Structure 1
């Protein structure tokens, strides 16, 4: 089977790493890809994930059987709809929802309304635009601190702001509605703050049936102790101790079943991954957000723990034939530590030369998140998140120790990371 994977980050590198292990793979093509992914397939760095015409041309030229869409931007932009409208591509297999399904992530207002319509537990909320600023302030005053503000549209994982005081929340609201994230924050969702522990649940669905992938927990804030601004993610671990069988049964009954049923009821043929960001509030699951794809950096941990044929899963999802697929999950622990550029998530330098010890293996992997080659062929940084160290261990302590040993062998100027990934879960043991 010829597979085209779209994306260039750590998530897509981890997906390529897992796909390449399938005996069903004939050849893997990646657009645009990154230097690390070149070990698993042919990369097309000149093809953007938003260049739908160029992607369709690749599908035709290389006789692609299956397209796997990694990032959210092309999904929200309608890449699935576009490809299926092309002559001779109507039956192309694609893992990823159409634009209607991608609204679960593309519009916080839509996703909160979806949860409300289908009885899915979530925080109380209201949405506002610049014309309803006074009403938004009144709603903030009706809430207890801290205050949660979310840009309605896509903001690269940075559109959620938690303010400890009413005055700060008012300032943040004004900046959001004034265009801090462009069109993405022209509407803002304000919601009640939930107290609990977060985890990430990944559902693979063919629109009717589903399978749960390994549960993970990510760490969004830049600073240790969960301090500082949100980032695209500083690390992850899997499994998650508090997401035990009893809790996950409640997740299936109260969140996953009504989510899949709600999509069907609204006429959305959803074939892809659903990321469900959950808050465990006293043992009860509340949905913080949906994403229409795998999470990053959770995917870098989750892929290490899947033992069954991942390409078989992808094909069955796309065909609508998930049926009796058996997902085999490793009993080992996985951890991921993200190395970022100095200054991230604000302004940061690019082009810093990178050296590291080895290519990914089975138990220890370095996934590229923001790298490229300079004119001399040297590996250099090209993004805020640069590399992720992902390792397996028989315990969480072992997995984390392996990650930090690997991290310490990576060299580039200003390397920045968190040294407390997973420590909150270790404290619960």
Structure 2
């Protein structure tokens, strides 16, 4: 079956993004980990398992907590942080006990403690440009509690990031990954971002993603002064080395408004009100994630809206975003009230 990339190429259409082969760096965590090993990219101790009994044996050998990951794409919800053996066993049953004649691959990782960063790079397959670091907030509930989600909010830039981190990631992670994947005869074009965990032993790569992050993309779009289309065209034309990215001064924040129950089961079809009032607030823009307008605006998915704001300080951006959140309503609306809160004490521009 042709990938969407090759379907476009077959019709002589321009497309920004990786080939199916290159996208394996995200679509198969096992492949991504193999690249990290070959490129000497720092990551967690791990093993790839193809059956339940093998995985259980690995869990018994590892120090708890452990992380259990589905090999394939799971929308940010195929990751289980297991504090005890029973939780790990339950996670493995969830991933392996799927009806049908399907081969399963699961990754068992040693748990690493630290704070997460996302650092994006846009590439034409030869050269690349770096984006500033951003921070996603993965857990569903305040205080980084609850289940993993696709992302409940983001900030950019990241004031607590140690000096030298962007340079380390550029050379030891991004460039190393591109060099390693070329050894397979694959040229990666598009957007690559590693999820970075800042540990006491330095940066560690959790995984690679072959796309923009969501909600990281929203904060980047609010701060980017350069025309995004020009960058995408340059990647397709192989001329990204001739471009530069200019950024606005200040901070951007995104707060995701989700359906009640997300990331588990949730209901949809609820009327959304207040977006116009929210966007009257200075530097606020609301992005739609899962909405439909059939005469009135309604919810259609888990992560419904992304409320973004920009400010000269992180506190300004946070205050504007949450003032805007207060204007929006739909039945069952849930969101985190602490996006960017931990980073506030590191913001030297704070008024």
Interval containing the TM-score (normalised by the shorter chain): over 0.9
Deviation readout 1:244-280 (Å, 9 max, x if unpaired): 5411111112111101211222211211000210011
Structure 1 position 171 matched with structure 2 position 90:
yes
Matching residue of 2:25: 104
Aligned ranges for residues 1-400 of structure 1 at < 5 Å?
Answer: 78-86=3-11, 89=12, 92-130=13-51, 133-179=52-98, 186-282=104-200, 284-358=202-276, 363-374=283-294, 377-400=295-318
Determine the C-alpha separation between the residues in 2 that align with 1:155 and 1:180.
17
Determine the C-alpha separation between the residues in 2 that align with 1:265 and 1:285.
24
SS of the equivalent of 2:205 reads strand
Work out whether residues 68 and 79 of structure 2, in 8 Å CA contact, stay in contact via their aligned partners in 1.
yes
RMSD: 2.0
SS of the equivalent of 1:225 reads helix
Work out whether residues 151 and 181 of structure 1, in 8 Å CA contact, stay in contact via their aligned partners in 2.
no
Work out whether residues 254 and 306 of structure 2, in 8 Å CA contact, stay in contact via their aligned partners in 1.
yes
Work out whether residues 140 and 147 of structure 1, in 8 Å CA contact, stay in contact via their aligned partners in 2.
yes
Residues 241, 180 of structure 1: CA spacing in aligned structure 2 closer, same or farther, 3 A cutoff?
farther
Work out whether residues 360 and 367 of structure 1, in 8 Å CA contact, stay in contact via their aligned partners in 2.
no
Gaps of 5+ in 2: none
Matching residue of 1:13: none
Residues 252, 409 of structure 1: CA spacing in aligned structure 2 closer, same or farther, 3 A cutoff?
same
Gaps of 5+ in 1: 1-51, 53-76
Matched residues, number: 345
Per the TM alignment, residue 213 of structure 1 is displaced from its structure 2 partner at its CA by 1.3
Deviation readout 1:60-93 (Å, 9 max, x if unpaired): xxxxxxxxxxxxxxxxx7210222123xx1xx32
Matching residue of 1:26: none
Q: Normalising by the residue count of structure 2, what TM-score does the alignment of the two structures yield?
A: 0.93
Work out whether residues 252 and 308 of structure 2, in 8 Å CA contact, stay in contact via their aligned partners in 1.
yes
Deviation readout 1:13-69 (Å, 9 max, x if unpaired): xxxxxxxxxxxxxxxxxxxxxxxxxxxxxxxxxxxxxxx9xxxxxxxxxxxxxxxxx
Per the TM alignment, residue 242 of structure 1 is displaced from its structure 2 partner at its CA by 3.0
Q: Normalising by the residue count of structure 1, what TM-score does the alignment of the two structures yield?
A: 0.77
